[in-house]
Homo-oligomer: A and B are copies of this chain.
Amino acid sequence: MASTLLTPGSNAERSRQYNRGLVLGHIRREGEAGRAEIARASGLSTQAVSNIIADLLADGWVVETGRRSGQRGQPAVTYAIRAEAGAALGVEIRPDAVLAAWIDLAGTVLHSARVALTRARPEDVLPVLQGLPGRVAGCSLIGAGVVMPGPVGVTGLSGQASELPGWGGIDAQVALEEALGLPVTVENDANTAAMAERVMGAAQGIDTFACLYFGTGLGLGLVAGGEVFGGAFGNAGEIGHIPVPTPEGPTRLEDVASRMALVRLLAEAGLHPATGDDLAALHAQAPPAYLDWLDRASTALGHAVLLLENLFDPETIILTGALPPPILDDLVARTPLPELSVSNRPDRRHPRLIAGRVGRRAATLGAAALVVNTALSPRLVATA
């Protein structure tokens, strides 16, 4: 509900908040850290860091974890994030269900839930959301992230077409904040999945990366400098729609590299996997239809990798989403990495393409991860 200024000015209060985020962010990155070390890293005085740490201790955000000896001089007292200090709620609204997950500051999943829907209009969804915040005891909820299909963005859904009926005319963010009673961030599935990988998955410690997300189709989440990049209107990352060359002529990427494409190819071969386990079994059984898909999909993904590396120059690219891990691994192994790329360097810290570790629920968990990431990063925010 906070009226957010685009670029708020800085005053004492906002400085403090920013520096708290800076300290928390450093501790999270390092796992644990001493005060003098944080002071050196941030350019703040040790005294300032001491005061902030004292605050954070009093508020329960960090805990003392011991002393770091071995060096000359007095050993530093180290601190770590207290995972239970706060929890975040992630909500995914689908046409047929609402998925929810609660995570703590360390990214541990505390609880999750699924509520089936017959319709997903606001009047069907909002009452379901009202019951969610009370579900976890002990941890105080600091915010919620919400994943919705359709173009979302800086202006919310208002005035834009959405794939969810009935949400077109209302400001989704405001309605959701009211229903949940929490600060809400709305994002698309690929972006939240990327954040899930950053907070609790394969992208920990990586600030700039791209995430290819297998949902209904294929989405792209971009993280730059530790923050989601959504484009000018929040609709960046529609990579599924771009054409890729195939032997039969150009098609859209997600017509080849997606769960839908896999299911279609399997169906043409008379296979009808019903569950996720059925899909996971494909890796071991390796039926021709699967190998065929793998071939087409990985070739197409190679094209996507080429695009992303040349346009975005990420530290790494991550495959994640609603495909079983062995299949993601197969894709990573098979995808040809282009020789001609600015990313093809010998001094890389990370492989160019890796499989995500968050799994099927990446989008829902990522919605919550978005909130955690915000809480543990410095940012100037007006609190009017």
Name A's B-contacting residues (CB within 8 A): 5, 7-12, 14-15, 18-19, 22, 25, 41-44, 48, 151, 159, 207-209, 220, 222, 224, 229-239, 241-243, 245, 250, 303, 306-308, 310-315, 340-343, 345, 347, 378, 380, 382, 384
**B9 close to A236 (CB less than 8 A):** no
Give the distance to chain B from A216, nearest Cβ to Cβ, in Å: 16
**B239 close to A151 (CB less than 8 A):** no
Complex CA gap A7/B380 in Å reads 12
**A220 close to B43 (CB less than 8 A):** no
Q: Which residues of B contact A236 (CB under 8 A)?
A: 311-313
Q: Which residues of B contact A378 (CB under 8 A)?
A: 7
Most chain B CB atoms below 10 A, which of A7, A22, A341: A7
> How many copies of this chain does the complex contain?
2
Give the distance to chain B from A169, nearest Cβ to Cβ, in Å: 15
Complex CA gap A48/B207 in Å reads 35
Complex CA gap A232/B207 in Å reads 8
Q: Which residues of B contact A237 (CB under 8 A)?
A: 310-311, 313
**B224 close to A229 (CB less than 8 A):** yes
**B239 close to A310 (CB less than 8 A):** yes
Complex CA gap A343/B43 in Å reads 42
**A22 close to B48 (CB less than 8 A):** no
- Can you name the residue of chain B whose Cβ is closest to the Cβ of A6? B41
With contacts A238-B311, A245-B245, A306-B242 known, is A342 near B9, CB below 8 A? no
**A9 close to B384 (CB less than 8 A):** no
Q: Which residues of B contact A44 (CB under 8 A)?
A: 9, 11
Q: Which residues of B contact A307 (CB under 8 A)?
A: 242, 307, 311
Most chain B CB atoms below 10 A, which of A43, A48, A220: A43
With contacts A241-B340, A342-B151, A342-B238 known, is A25 near B43, CB below 8 A? no
**A18 close to B25 (CB less than 8 A):** no
Q: Which residues of B contact A239 (CB under 8 A)?
A: 310-311
**B22 close to A314 (CB less than 8 A):** no
**A232 close to B310 (CB less than 8 A):** no
Q: Which residues of B contact A209 (CB under 8 A)?
A: 232
A-B contact pairs, 6 of them (CB 8 A): A9-B19, A10-B18, A43-B382, A208-B231, A234-B313, A237-B313
With contacts A10-B10, A307-B307 known, is A342 near B233, CB below 8 A? yes
Complex CA gap A384/B239 in Å reads 43
- Can you name the residue of chain B whose Cβ is closest to the Cβ of A38? B9
Q: Which residues of B contact A312 (CB under 8 A)?
A: 231, 236, 311
A224: contacting residue among B9, B11, B224, B345, CB under 8 A: B224
**B5 close to A41 (CB less than 8 A):** yes
Complex CA gap A307/B15 in Å reads 39
**B220 close to A311 (CB less than 8 A):** yes
Give the distance to chain B from A196, nearest Cβ to Cβ, in Å: 20
Q: Which residues of B contact A343 (CB under 8 A)?
A: 235
Known: A10-B15, A235-B313, A243-B245. 5 other contacts (CB 8 A): A43-B382, A232-B315, A235-B342, A238-B342, A241-B341
- Can you name the residue of chain B whose Cβ is closest to the Cβ of A161? B345
**B7 close to A347 (CB less than 8 A):** no
Complex CA gap A8/B14 in Å reads 14
